[in-house]
Every structure is written in structure tokens, then in C-alpha cells.
Amino acid sequence: MMKRFSLKKFFLMVGTSIRRFFTFEENAEGRRKRKELFVLAGIFCALVIGAILVGVSDNLPGIVLCYLAVITLIVAVTRTWKRTKMFLILLGASVVGFIVFVVLHNVFYGLTILTSHISALSHLMEVFHVAFFIIAVFLCPAAFLVGVIGSIVLAIKGRRRQAMG
């Protein structure tokens, strides 16, 4: 029998994940996790700087560097996840998020055009439509990729563990 989805449990799970992300134990494993986080943060910064130096506008290497930076950022968050269900939730959230952010981008683009005679409001709407575009184009596909790969890897590990005993 399937369990019902509870938004309260989901938010508690997200809160626990965020708390665990920013908390390090004072033992060898905690120091290792801290080092991993700093290495991933360094890689993220290097990729972002590389993308800025190369340029992103109509430049394939710059766009690839941006995608790799976002994937590194998502891996930094998900590196401690041990359950396939977490990656499947990330996968579903990225698909739904892509649709939602594309719609929001288009809505705010329309509002930008409608409010073009009001300068401050037009600029605010433009900020929103650009932000939603960047989230839909860079963050959601990267989260989808991490969700797919993470769920496949953990499913294979689970099958191996079942087969061994």
C-alpha cells in the first residue's frame, strides 16, 4: 500500500536536509564532509569564473561551464543523500519546476511589455522574467540530471545489497 504524500513531512525532510548540510560533527567524518563541501564550493567558483571569462552569450563552452557549475552546486547539496526516494523527489520537483518557471517567465515577460510605460515596474518585471528564465533553463535540467543519476546509482546499490544478503 502506498503512503500518502504529506506536505508537512516534505518540508520537515527539507529542513532536516538543510540543517544537516550546514552542520558538521567534530569527528573524522565531519571533517571529511567539511572538506568535501569546500572542494565542491571551490569547483563551483572556478566554473563560474571560467564561464564569466569565456562568456555565456551564444558560446557553447561558456554554457557548458554554467551547467557544470549548477550541477556541482546541486551535488554539494545532495552529496549526503542515501535514499533513492530523495533523488526521485528531486527528479519530480525539477520536472514540475521547469513547467512552473517557464510559465512564470512568460507571464512576467508579458507583464514587462504591458508595464513598459512605467519604468520602475517594467524593470522589476524584467528582473523576474530573467530570473525565472535562468532557473528554468539552468537549474531545472541540472536538478533533473542529478536526480536521474542519483536514483539510478542508489537503485543499483540497493539491488546489489539485496543480492548479497
pLDDT tens for residues 93-112? 999 999 999 999 999 999 99
Q: Is the pLDDT of residue 26 over 70?
A: no
Same domain for 152 and 73:
no
> How many Å apart are CA 64 and CA 50, to the nearest integer?
10
> What is the structure's pLDDT at 22?
67
Same domain for 116 and 155:
yes
Same domain for 86 and 73:
no
Q: Is the pLDDT of residue 48 over 80?
A: yes
Same domain for 48 and 89:
no
- Rounded (10°) CA dihedral 78, 146, 54, 50: 20
> How many Å apart are CA 60 and CA 68, to the nearest integer?
12
Same domain for 155 and 94:
yes
Query: Binning pLDDT at 50, 70 and 90, where does residue 33 land?
Result: confident
Residues 6+ positions from 96 with CB-CB distance below 8 Å: none
Same domain for 96 and 149:
yes
Same domain for 149 and 76:
no
Continuous H helices in 22-139: 28-54, 60-78, 84-114, 119-134
6 is a domain residue: no
Same domain for 124 and 102:
yes
124 is a domain residue: yes
Domain of residue 119 covers 82-165
- Domains of the chain: total: 2
Same domain for 139 and 71:
no
Q: Is the pLDDT of residue 69 over 90?
A: yes
> What is the structure's pLDDT at 14?
76
Same domain for 155 and 141:
yes
13 is a domain residue: no
- Of 63, 80, 97, the one marking the end of a domain is 80
Same domain for 35 and 69:
yes
Same domain for 142 and 76:
no
Question: 79 near 36, Cβ under 8 Å?
Answer: yes
